[in-house]
Amino acid sequence: MKTINIITPHFIPENSPCTNRIKGYFNVLSQEYRLNIITLTEKGKKIPIERKEFNNISIHYIEQKNYNSKNFLIRAFNEIKYSYKLIIKSKQLDADYNIVTIPYMFLIPFSLLIRGVKILDIRDIVWEYLNESTKLNKIIKLLLKIIMINSLRQFNSIIVTNTKEENYLLNLKVLPKI
């Protein structure tokens, strides 16, 4: 049986659109693949064990400390830190396929560390939402956009949630050829 690593910042018991997408993958893929779900705990929540297993599914939790996500710099720092931790944990688990889900945009460049087939599941093109009200913000947004666009090219496949995201990626010529 082949194995899929699903790398996501959001999973059960959290209730979010990203969690609901992962549940869909989980329900369909677990019938034919062994799944490793690498995910974060809810902010500030402890878990009694770092790994839960049932059937052919193994959930690997990384404890996420509580932080102020309303502060852009604190949020960005923590998303970088936890994106790196998720990717490093996934590297420790052998897999035939890797599905990386965002909205944590820093998972995209850190995915360069993963070997094998990589699939990106985009729920939001987060770097495009950044405020451009100051010159510094414009520079940060431009740098992030360059990093993200160049990092998108490493994926074998990219899944999007709507045609606007698809058109954005088609215009950038980063969607893998099928």
Count how many Cα atoms sit within 13 Å of the Cα of residue 37 in the half-sphere of its side chain. Answer: 27
pLDDT for 15? 58
pLDDT at 178 over 50: no
pLDDT at 161 over 60: yes
Please tell me the distance from the alpha carbon of residue 87 to that of residue 153, in angstroms, as a whole number.
17
Q: Is the pTM of this model over 0.85?
A: yes
* Average pLDDT along the chain: 86
The pLDDT tens digits of the residues spanning 80-134 come to 999 999 999 999 999 999 999 988 999 999 999 999 999 999 988 888 888 888 9
Of residues 119, 122, 115, 110, the one with CA closest to residue 151: 110
Please tell me the distance from the alpha carbon of residue 167 to that of residue 178, in angstroms, as a whole number.
16
